[in-house]
Amino acid sequence: MRRRDFLKVAATSATGAVLFAGCGRIGDGVPETEFKIAQPVYTPNDWAFGRDAWFATAAPPDQGGYGLIVRVFEGRAKKVDGNPDFPGVLGKSDARAQALVQELYHPDRLAGPQRAATRGSGQFQPISWDSALQEVAQILRDAGGERAVLITTRPSSSQAAIIAAFQRVTGIRHAILEPDELVVLRSVVRRLFGVSTLPIPDLANASFLLNFGAEFLHGWIAPVQLARAYGEFRQGRPGQRGLYYHVGPRLSATAANADRWFPIVPGTEGLIALAIANVLLTEGAVPRDRFAPYFAALGLDEARLTNDYSPERVATTSGLTAEQIRDLAHALVEHEPAVVIAGTNAAASTNGLFNLVATLGLNLLLDSLNQPGGLLLNPEPPLPELRIMDDAILTQRQWAELFQQIQSGAISTVLVYRANPVYALPPATGAAEALRAAQHVVSFSPFVDETTQLADIVLPDQAWLEQWGLEVPDPGPGFAAVAVRQPVVQPFVDARAFGDVLIQLATQLGQPLPWASQEEATKTLALQLRRLGRGNIQAADDKQFLVTLQAQGGWWDEQSRGSGTVPSSPVVQPREPSFAGDSAQFPYLLVPYPLPSIGYGELAHLPWLQALPEPISTNVWQSWVEVAQRTADELGLSTGDVVRLITPQATVELPVYVNPAGQPGLVAIPFGQGHTALGRYAEGRGVNPLTLVAPENDSDAGTLAWCATRCRIEKTGRRARLARFEGMVPAFQLEEFPIVRVMAPSA
């Protein structure tokens, strides 16, 4: 290169660099970044001080219904946190509560009422609220109450009051869709302790916790309350650390926190509990008179317990040793106070009802009911209107009957509110076929889920942060508590609260409800709380009461505690678990499990939760099959290999995750994925395990036993990329240099 050329190049490049850099000036030039300041027409409430405001509201009913606070800035909800005043949670929250803002601002939220182009096409056209309401009112008028059914998820307490009033004027049937494990749990608590509300273990004061499978720290009945208490249980009392033993088939996210994990054959929880009772009885560790209600509930007597359920006999079926069972029994009486909880997997076997009765019944033997550090019973909701009717919660068997009725034409009109039976019930239940056969399907869901896809008309509900309501946390903190839900922002889209729509429909039908809106219903019910003349709020008049209620986020009365009865008649007979599929053909047991983040799939549309790694496998955004290390070695599998998972019901191909803590003989698969609708973040990912499990019922409870199917796996030879947080090499602690340092408890 000659000198002249070099200079030319140098000059051009220097000049070019300057010109290039000079193209943009800060905030200018690029239209998107051109700064505009909007001058609003009216001052929004929260602009009054130009600062952010925190408003109190409540968590959704299926997430615990506890008190929340939401940070609002310039009319937009920014951040959700726990209400520091609300009993039980005291300012704490979980990932699901944090993600509530994503429900509010979800890009796939329905912006207003829609009509399906043709049913099932998934194509909707916007219509006006007036015409939509008229149309639905006409449908209800034509069908009449007895030929219509309203399927909802667990409603908030004030929604339950509105639904009850709507039922009174229209005669419509109400059916609540809840996860099967909760249906079993509610039924057991009702029959064993004589209360309709769920109890809460007083972990903060307990010394020993024995847990049969309940995912109590990851999305079970009251994850935040229980997690907060768990912190106190472990390190909240100087010099005293609670001890936690976990009995269950998987080392789940919750089980990983246990001091000892007892891997068992799924469904044998109840038998183990009987063996523990056997040890307690034969060793005389607890007073004999405590056994009477336990025997009564299980239809047992002393002789049968001592003869049939010795640790040695149970050991062979359960996968534990007799010594381990004795250890469990001894731990229960050595550490006072002790409490026993059970749920999730334990409730999802063919003997789920028995499992829960036998395990939760151990609390009767320990005399831990309503004792500090024991199982606290919660009182009934302070107002009868706020009660959610148990008989509306259907079991799998009842759902199948209901869908039969719809298909036969006995029920012509189906209203669906936030429930997603097409996804959340196994295909054999016939939800999809029934909805296709129904004359009219009206959905009130804010998202187009699998069920809403089959609707003719959608009248979308508001997001939880946009509406009014009262919420009785179930389980409560051990005493009466009500959280108030208030809109923290102006409605973001042209949706209407479900309660408002029911009230407007009733008005159209010429039978107005006692309230003009969901807001009025909430406030009327709240003022009834004031009439009770107790609780935390001192107010001179109604207005002051409501203002204080909204500011504090709730009403609670620590004096109002629950009381129950002991069982006197048999609830259930002892029963061994059974599994669908021939054990020669299907050598492994399939253990599905709910994800800590997206649960049974109802939250799969929220990207933060989808992107939150499952704690044990650290997998995200998809489905996978968990195989034990030993099984993987036998089959020559490694993480990322695609296998064919075959059950008597279906065959799917999924990538493998080799779990070092997996129990040989078990294959685990997470719930939550496999959506064909529910928005861009949920659709087309993974597999819904409900399509894999055999439609086995718990013959006592009538619920689906999703943990009672055998399966086999075949190598396909292909590999898939697993989206996960951990690398492909499992992170084991180095013995000489552990990341998580562990110490033995100081004496």
Partner 1 sequence: MPRWGMVIDLDRCIGCGACVVACQAENNVPINTEDVYHQRRAIAWIRLERYWEGEFPNVKARYIPVPCMQCTNAPCEPVCPVYATYHTTEGINMQVYNRCIGTRYCSINCHWHVRFFNFWEPKWPDSLKNQLNPDVTVRSRGVMEKCNFCVHRIVKAEQKAKVEGRALRTDEVTTACAQACPTNAIVFGDLDDPNSAVSQLLAQAEREHRVYRLLEDLGTEPNVYYLKKVDVEATATAAEAH
Partner 2 sequence: MRYIRLILFVLVVLVVMAIPLALVLARTYFLSPTAQPVKAQPIQFPHQVHVQAIGLDCTYCHRNATTSAQATLPALELCMQCHKIIPSQGRPELEKLVAAFQQNQPILWNKVHQLPDHTHFVHSVHLSFGFQCSTCHGDVGAMGKPGVKQVRDLRMGDCITCHQQNGARTDCSVCHY
Residues found near partner 2 in the complex (CB under 8 A): 7, 10-11, 14-15, 17-19, 22, 25-28, 34-43, 47, 49-51
Q: Which of 184, 231, 189 is nearest to 369 (CA)?
A: 189
At residue 27, the 3 state secondary structure works out as: coil
Nearer to partner 1, 223 or 270 (CB): 223
Give which of 609, 607, 683, 679 is closest to 109, Cα–Cα. Answer: 679
Interface pick for partner 1 out of 253, 386, 643, 667 (rule CB under 8 A): 253
Q: Out of partner 1, partner 2, none, which partner does residue 728 contact, by CB within 5 to 8 A per kind?
A: none
Which helix (H) or strand (E) segment holds residue 148: the answer is strand 148-152
| Partner in contact with 80, chosen from partner 1, partner 2, none, beta carbon below 5 to 8 Å by kind | partner 1
Q: How far is the CB of 607 from partner 2 (least distance, A)?
A: 25
Q: Which does 656 bind (CB under 5 to 8 A by kind): partner 1, partner 2, none?
A: none
Measured distance CA(651)–CA(581) in Å, rounded:
14
Shortest reach from residue 639's CB to partner 1, in Å: 13
**Nearer to partner 2 by C-beta: 7 or 111?**
7
Exactly one of 81, 308, 576, 683 binds partner 1 (CB under 8 A); that residue is 81
Among 124, 230, 464, 555, binds partner 1 (CB under 8 A): 230
Q: What is the DSSP string of 192-216?
A: HHS-SSPPEE-GGG-SEEEEES--T
Binding partner at 36 among partner 1, partner 2, none, C-beta below 5 to 8 Å by kind = partner 2
End-to-end, the C-alpha distance of the chain in Å comes to: 81
Cβ nearer to partner 2, comparing 11 with 611: 11
**Separation of alpha carbons 218 and 680, rounded Å:** 25
For partner 2, the closer of residues 53 and 437 by Cβ is 53
Name which of 549 and 722 has its Cβ closer to partner 1: 722
Considering only the stretches 91-99, 133-141, 574-582, 709-717, report the one whose residues sit in contact with partner 1 under the rule CB under 8 A.
91-99
Among partner 2, partner 1, none, residue 738 binds (CB under 5-8 Å by kind): partner 1
Cβ contacts of 298-302, under 8 Å, gap ≥ 24: 298/274, 298/354, 298/357, 298/358, 298/361, 298/570, 298/571, 298/572, 298/573, 298/574, 299/570, 299/572, 299/573, 299/574, 300/274, 300/574
Concatenating the DSSP letter of every residue in 107-144 gives TTS--S-EEESSTTS--EEE--HHHHHHHHHHHHHHH-
User: Shortest approach of partner 2 to residue 157 CB, angstroms?
Assistant: 37
413 CB-near residues (< 8 Å, 6+ apart): 139, 140, 143, 147, 148, 149, 438, 439, 440, 441, 442
Q: How far is CA 449 from CA 240, 415, 454, in A?
A: 48, 14, 9
Q: Which residues neighbour 635 within 8 Å (Cβ) at sequence distance 6 or greater?
A: 627, 713, 715
User: Given candidates 168, 190, 191, 241, which one binds partner 1 under the rule CB under 8 A?
Assistant: 241
Query: Between residue 676 and residue 735, which ones bind partner 1 under the rule CB under 8 A?
Result: 685, 721, 723-727, 730-733, 735
Place of tokens 């731990």: 331
The interface partner of residue 47, options being partner 2, partner 1, none and the CB cut-off 5 to 8 Å by kind, is: partner 2
DSSP state of 454: G
**Minimum distance of partner 1 from residue 608's CB (angstroms):** 5
Q: Please identify, among the stretches 78-86, 152-160, 277-285, 420-428, the one whose residues bind partner 1 according to the rule CB under 8 A.
A: 78-86
Nearest-approach distance from CB 28 to partner 2, in angstroms: 7
Smallest gap from residue 92 Cβ to partner 1 (A): 4
Residue linked to tokens 């079926």:
317
Q: Across the strands, what pairs with 125?
A: 115
Using the rule CB under 8 A, which residue among 228, 418, 496, 710 binds partner 1?
228
**CA–CA dist 518, 514 (Å, integer):** 11
CA 620 to chain centre: 18
Interface of this chain with partner 1, residues 254 to 293, rule: CB under 8 A: 254, 256-257, 259-261, 263
Residue 250 phi, psi dihedral angles, 5° rounding = -115, 150
Minimal distance, residue 337 CB to partner 1, in Å: 18
Residue 35 contacts which entry, partner 1, partner 2, none (Cβ below 5-8 A, type-dependent): partner 2
Residue 460 touches partner 1, criterion: CB under 8 A: no
Burial class (CB in 10 A: 0-12, 13-18, 19+), 576: middle
When asked if residue 660 is in the footprint of partner 1 (CB under 8 A), the reply is: yes
Task: Give which of partner 1, partner 2, none residue 10 binds (C-beta under 5 to 8 Å, depending on kind).
Answer: partner 2
Least spacing, CB of residue 122 vs partner 1, in Å: 19
| Residue 494, CB-side half-sphere exposure with 13 Å CA sphere | 11
By CB under 8 A, what part of segment 599-638 binds partner 1?
Answer: 607-609, 611-613, 615-616, 618, 620-622, 628-630
Q: How far is the CB of 217 from partner 1 (least distance, A)?
A: 4
Which of 93, 396 has the CB closer to partner 1?
A: 93
261 DSSP β-pair partners: 246
Q: In angstroms, rounded to a whole number, what is the distance separating the alpha carbons of residues 506 and 170? A: 8
Residues in 524-563 at the binding interface with partner 1, rule: CB under 8 A? none
Residue labelled with tokens 């509110």: 417
Positive or negative CA dihedral for 16, 22, 24, 28?
A: negative
Question: Which positions from 203 through 222 interact with partner 1, judged by CB under 8 A?
Answer: 217-218
- Angstrom distance (rounded) from CA 353 to CA 703: 9
Indicate which single residue of 56, 80, 214, 347 sits in contact with partner 1 (rule: CB under 8 A). Answer: 80
**Cβ 479 to partner 1, closest distance in Å?**
20
25 binds, among partner 2, partner 1, none (CB under 5 to 8 A by kind): partner 2
Quick one: what does residue 2 bind among partner 1, partner 2, none, with the CB cut-off 5 to 8 Å set by partner type?
none
* Nearer CB in complex with partner 1: 34/541: 34
| Interatomic CA distance for residues 219 and 250, integer angstroms | 16
How far apart are alpha carbons 596 and 687 in whole angstroms?
17
Nearer to partner 1, 72 or 392 (CB): 72
Shortest CB 87 distance to partner 1, Å: 15
Q: Is 93 in the site for partner 1 (CB under 8 A)?
A: yes
Work out what residue 488 binds among partner 2, partner 1, none; the CB cut-off runs from 5 to 8 Å by kind: none
**Of 71 and 397, CB closest to partner 1:** 71
Closest Cα to residue 744, out of 119, 259, 81?
259
Q: Return d(Cα 373, Cα 344) in angstroms, integer.
A: 22
Question: Considering CB distances under 5 to 8 angstroms, the limit depending on partner class, which of partner 2, partner 1, none binds residue 230?
Answer: partner 1
Instruction: Please tell me whether residue 664 binds partner 1 under the rule CB under 8 A.
Output: yes
- Closest approach, Cβ 52 to partner 2, in A, equals 9
The binder of partner 1 chosen from 28, 74, 146, 312 (CB under 8 A)? 74
Under rule CB under 8 A, residue 95 binds partner 1:
yes
420 φ/ψ angles, rounded to the nearest 5 degrees: -130, 65
